[in-house]
Amino acid sequence: MVTVLMEFSEKLEFGHEDRRRIYEYVERHGRANANEVQDSLRIDPSGFRHHVAILRRDGYLSEDEDILSVALETGAEEEFDVDDVEFIIRPARQEDLSGIIGAIRQVAQEGSYIVAETVADEIDHQEALLRHNDLESRMFFVATVNDEVVGWVHLNAPELDKLSHTAELTVGVLDEYQGHGIGSHLLERGLEWAGANGYEKVYQSAPSTNQNAIDFLEAHGWETEAVRKNHYKIDGEYVDEVMMAVKL
């Protein structure tokens, strides 16, 4: 059986309110047991299975052993071996949630990466990693070593016509695995995904004290668009926000 996968750029059109309710429940929870969804939404069994079948047919949901998840076209995994460090870059899965949160919080410690800190808090609170709904789209790719998350790239885009060509990005790698090109491969994968999904501009902000992040982005063709003076207050000190972007 050929599995149809949904593109992030697709508009959500369900044709039936119960299908929308099923999709929104699964999307909000990251993944969910089919029986749990049916009981929570109080849809009769035969109607529920029909709606799930149509959602699978149209590429909105996938199902594996009664576990429903949002079906998204995110690409394959890639294997790398740099300086005797073997790592994989792949689309993130819901089970990567705790590893991603841990990686972000380690990289963003001491106020060096405010936006990433916010992302970690958000996905921790929502307990859902990937999002694709009427308000936003959120995608993650991870770098793994021995199946453990050591880095991430995240893109978030609002579903607003006037901003539909832009996406915000964060990227980071654990200290112990920096210097092996993992961050560059993650950034490249994220930008490739953004370009393939119709985004024209990707942006992010960093405190001016995070010179390593600024240098990294500049080395990959990013430019500073603006500086907001004294935008952050870190450990009692005012710090500028450097707003950077790259056009695809």
The answer to whether the beta carbons of residues 144 and 134 sit under 8 Å apart is no
* Average confidence score pLDDT of the chain: 91
Nearest-angstrom CA–CA distance, 191 and 169: 9
Residue 7 has pLDDT above 90, yes or no: no
pLDDT more than 90, % of the chain = 74
CA distance 151 to 122: 18
Q: Is 169 domain-assigned? A: yes
Residues whose CB falls within 8 Å of the CB of residue 190, separated by 6 or more in sequence, listed in order = 139, 141, 153, 154, 155, 169, 171, 202
Instruction: Tell whether 202 is covered by a domain.
Output: yes
pLDDT in tens, 45-56: 999 999 999 999
> Which range marks the domain in which residue 62 is found?
17-70
Residue 1: inside a domain: no
87 and 193 together in one domain: yes
Residues 168 and 138 in one domain: yes
pLDDT for position 9: 53
pLDDT tens column, 59-115: 889 999 999 988 877 778 999 999 999 999 999 999 999 999 999 999 998 678 899
DSSP 224: E
Residue 3 confidence (pLDDT) above 50: no
| Contact call for residues 30 and 135 (beta carbons, < 8 A) | no
Query: Is the distance from CB of 218 to CB of 225 less than 8 angstroms?
Result: no
- As a whole-number percent, the residues of the chain with pLDDT over 70 amount to 95
Structural domain total, the chain: 2
**pLDDT per position as a tens digit, 182-225:** 999 999 999 999 998 889 999 999 999 999 999 999 999 999 99
Half-sphere exposure of 137 toward its Cβ, with a 13 Å CA cutoff?
26
pLDDT at 5 > cutoff 60:
no
Q: What span, in angstroms and rounded, lies between the C-alpha atoms of 192 and 13? A: 26
Q: What is the CATH number of the domain that holds 59?
A: 1.10.10.10
Give the per-residue pLDDT at 136. 80
Q: Are residues 237 and 220 in the same domain?
A: yes
Last residue of some domain: 29, 48, 70? 70
- HSE at residue 66, side-chain half, CA atoms within 13 A, is 6
Do 32 and 147 share a domain, yes or no?
Answer: no
> What pTM, to 2 d.p., does this model score?
0.81
Please answer whether residues 80 and 88 qualify as being in contact, where contact means their C-beta atoms are separated by less than 8 angstroms: yes
